[in-house]
Structure 1
Amino acid sequence: MKVLLLENIHEVAHEALVDAGYTVDTRSGALDETELIEALEGVDMLGIRSKTQITAEVLRARPELQAIGAFCIGTNQIDLEEAAQAGTVVFNAPFSNTRSVVELAMAEIISMARHLTDKNAALHAGVWDKSAKGAHEVRGRSLGIVGYGNIGSQLSVIAEAFGMHVSYYDLDDKLPLGNARRCDSLEELLQSCETVTLHVDGRNGNAGNFGAEQFALMRPRSLFLNLSRGFVVDLEALRDSLVSGHVAGAAVDVFPSEPKSAGDPFTSCLQGLPNVILTPHVGGSTEEAQYDIGRYVSAKLRDYQSTGATTMSVNVPGVTAPQAVGDTRILHLHRNVPGVLARVNTILSEGGANIDGQQLSTKGEYGYAVTDLAGSVDQAVVDRLRALEETVEVRLISTL
């Protein structure tokens, strides 16, 4: 079993996969499409972060790839539907770096409210400017959170602990935590809050959603943060709002185009503007978060290989599969149409297989069956399962 880990994934993942008996190759940066296809020769499982793009072309060129671990929250860099069609299971880490992003957001809100980056730059330049002008406490001020998921909702609680009045807007009807107030529209939130922070996901519908029209709706001299997805915000429109003074400060951690590796050059239209904090996509980049992500996702990859478990997979049905109760376990990913399980069991029965246990889960277009058998199974039975019109992937795990 061979694993390729890209983009400086925490060493705990490397150690866990080596301990599981796999051969692990690591590379520090992201790979482009051609490089990735070449590097995936003979690879069974792949680990990436946010830069490497897993396109349909990559998946079609390497159909033997069994699983992908996204060692981050987002999976928009992966063609999830093409991966499912190829029988490649995808896992991510939806919760592991939540606290790290929340802490960065609060730090940046306070830094902008107090103009700390400007004060710091002035003092490094030898200018002593001990003035309270333009510096404010965050206590009593209003925070508008766009996207009330894992990060947005935890930020809501932390911001309230600082004494802020929290409002939020989400496309889904989510219950508020603490004293947070739900807004019925994005416009309502923008017009009522002094600080606006984005924590939306990577769905295509969010691309370019925040531009000149949205900045114009914000209150004069408000603060703006984007720690979610780079393609959501029109940075030129943000620059215009900052230069005009309509937006008093901004913190941006994600960009529409980002360098592949550490040390590569970076340019942005926001560079050089006062009270603007630019960070290199480090919202989840703490030692604690990266350790937890490395531990969590590597465990998902290991468990999928050893037991067929797909719990928390983002593109196939989730099955919690403990150690096999029989001698052979058959994993069958298939199209979710009526009668598939009956046909699978008919093939097993006609092949003389004795079923010790079975689990089935469905999700959208796909179904996933985990079947434990007593004894071994003939190759002819496996070939018949693969030949089923609805079959996407068949894999065997033997304890014999």
Structure 2
Amino acid sequence: MAHKTSFPKHEIRVLLLEGISASAAQSFRAAGYSQIRLFDKSLPEEQLREELAQAHLVGIRSRTQLTADLLQEARRLISIGCFCIGTSQVDLDAAEDLGIPVFNAPYSNTRSVAELVVAEAIMLLRGIPAKNAQCHKGGWAKSASGSHEARGKTLGIVGYGHIGTQVGVIAEALGMQVIFHDIETKLSLGNARAAANLDELLQRSDVVTLHVPETPATREMIGAPQIAMMKPGAHLINASRGTVVDVDCLADAVRSGHVGGAAVDVFPVEPKGNDDVFQTPLAGLDNVLLTPHIGGSTLEAQDNIGLEVASKLIRYSDNGSTLSAVNFPEVSLPEHTGSTRFLHIHRNVPGVLSRVNDVFSRLGANIDGQFLRTHPKVGYVVIDVSASQTQLDDIRTALMEIPGTLRTRVLY
């Protein structure tokens, strides 16, 4: 049932940037959304501003930066999907203040990253990066010196979450000994064992791989002191976040031979596009593998991410469910067949819920169901009602007038 206070699907505008997998657009079309704008790249700021002004749902990857200023001007925007693991490219506080939930895909590319890391560990242990570089230059270094099997070596995993555990499982299948360190107590998989602390892990590992989020605590957590603790000739892999490693110190350690080799997929400063110049102190070092932030960039992972994030955006748009939103109260809602659903997003201050309930009581609407969740700054109440069209119009108006209201939507 279409109504001026509730967009029918064919009027909802979906904006998908940065070459998001076709599986996302297919999901939207299958769900009845027809106004979909697709761009293969991130947009210049002015064009992005213009596109956002018309969009109700937006999907981005890692290059598009949704700042507080941009979000403030995107007055039609109801939800954001980050088609990747991270959400640092979105001002989450600003989005929350505006009543805009943000969704991501924290686990869809887990296997892709894990496979790359284990492959890099094998390559580093065999000395392949340097041998490959020599062959390209006309050299021929046929020797077993410095070349080792993965079997029996110790892999140290820093950050034992979804990716770290997958890395451990694959590495164990190769016969590696797996130890890990995490700030939280984690149940180990297989024969993996927790190290006493980060220092012990660094001292024992033949290969160290990093799988931690970007936080103030992880910024340059691997610097000169930590690198010095590593076994002479050990290898370092970073497929987490570029700020986690001091790359200048790592480059010095590789040149000195203290670090036998490294594989780095993420960098403190990365180009915004494929045509931009990439620079790093690690460039030119033959025993270093450099990849352009492609740990999760497989077709399988991108298809999975497209399906996962699109389904979250669709579910929120269709029925108000916010399960797994990163900046918003989480509510998993049933269907509302036979009822009209009101979504009321408000500042989390005392008295709002009583005012909401007073609206329905005063206007004589029968409440079929009610759901409430709160976040530190935002409250989210969902009310299913049976009422006449006149009552529905009056309810919408009254809800919007409640002090502290951020936005109200009606779903028929």
Specify whether residues 16 and 79 from structure 1 end up closer, same or farther in structure 2 by C-alpha distance, changes over 3 A only. same
1:396 corresponds to: 410
Please tell me whether residue 154 in structure 1 is matched to residue 166 in structure 2.
yes
Aligned residue type for 1:390: G
Aligned residue type for 1:372: D
Match of 2:370 among 345, 350, 358: 358
Aligned residue type for 1:92: N
Q: CA contact under 8 A between 1:29 and 1:260: conserved in structure 2?
A: no
Matches within 5 A, 1:15-164: 15-19=26-30, 20-164=32-176
Q: Distance in 2 between matches of 1:117 and 1:172?
A: 34
1:12 corresponds to: 23
Q: Distance in 1 between matches of 2:53 and 2:371?
A: 33
Specify whether residues 309 and 38 from structure 1 end up closer, same or farther in structure 2 by C-alpha distance, changes over 3 A only. same
1:351 to partner: Cα distance: 1.6
Aligned residue type for 1:294: G
Match of 1:179 among 177, 186, 191: 191
Percent of matched pairs sharing the same residue: 49
Please tell me whether residue 373 in structure 1 is matched to residue 385 in structure 2.
yes
Q: Distance in 2 between matches of 1:249 and 1:151?
A: 22
1:347 corresponds to: 359
Q: Distance in 2 between matches of 1:172 and 1:393?
A: 37
For residue 53 of structure 2, give the secondary structure of its aligned residue in structure 1.
coil
1:35 to partner: Cα distance: 4.0
Match of 1:273 among 277, 282, 285: 285
1:294 to partner: Cα distance: 0.4
Specify whether residues 363 and 318 from structure 1 end up closer, same or farther in structure 2 by C-alpha distance, changes over 3 A only. same
Q: CA contact under 8 A between 2:339 and 2:368: conserved in structure 1?
A: no
Q: Distance in 2 between matches of 1:225 and 1:328?
A: 53
Q: Distance in 2 between matches of 1:106 and 1:369?
A: 46
1:217 to partner: Cα distance: 1.8
For residue 202 of structure 2, give the secondary structure of its aligned residue in structure 1.
helix
Matches within 5 A, 1:162-311: 162-311=174-323
Across the two proteins, how many residue pairs are aligned to each other? 398
For residue 334 of structure 1, give the secondary structure of its aligned residue in structure 2.
strand
TM-score by length of 1: 0.95
Q: Distance in 1 between matches of 2:197 and 2:407?
A: 43
1:360 to partner: Cα distance: 1.9
Q: CA contact under 8 A between 1:199 and 1:227: conserved in structure 2?
A: yes
Aligned residue type for 1:381: I
Please tell me whether residue 384 in structure 1 is matched to residue 398 in structure 2.
yes
Q: Distance in 2 between matches of 1:365 and 1:326?
A: 32
Structure 1, unaligned runs of 5 or more: none
For residue 357 of structure 1, give the secondary structure of its aligned residue in structure 2.
strand
Q: Distance in 2 between matches of 1:182 and 1:338?
A: 45
Aligned residue type for 1:5: L
TM-align CA RMSD: 1.7
For residue 58 of structure 1, give the secondary structure of its aligned residue in structure 2.
helix
Q: Distance in 1 between matches of 2:408 and 2:360?
A: 13
Q: Distance in 2 between matches of 1:168 and 1:31?
A: 40
Q: CA contact under 8 A between 2:53 and 2:75: conserved in structure 1?
A: no
For residue 306 of structure 2, give the secondary structure of its aligned residue in structure 1.
helix
For residue 282 of structure 1, give the secondary structure of its aligned residue in structure 2.
coil
For residue 145 of structure 2, give the secondary structure of its aligned residue in structure 1.
coil
1:3 corresponds to: 14
Aligned residue type for 1:80: L
Q: CA contact under 8 A between 2:345 and 2:381: conserved in structure 1?
A: yes
Q: Distance in 2 between matches of 1:172 and 1:209?
A: 16
Q: CA contact under 8 A between 1:307 and 1:397: conserved in structure 2?
A: yes
Q: Distance in 1 between matches of 2:215 and 2:235?
A: 25
Q: Distance in 2 between matches of 1:22 and 1:80?
A: 28
Q: Distance in 2 between matches of 1:170 and 1:367?
A: 32
Aligned residue type for 2:257: G
Residues 292-349 of structure 1: per-residue CA shift (max 9 Å, x gap): 0001111111111111111111111111123213331101222334543332111112
Q: Distance in 1 between matches of 2:377 and 2:44?
A: 30
TM-score by length of 2: 0.92
Q: CA contact under 8 A between 2:211 and 2:240: conserved in structure 1?
A: yes
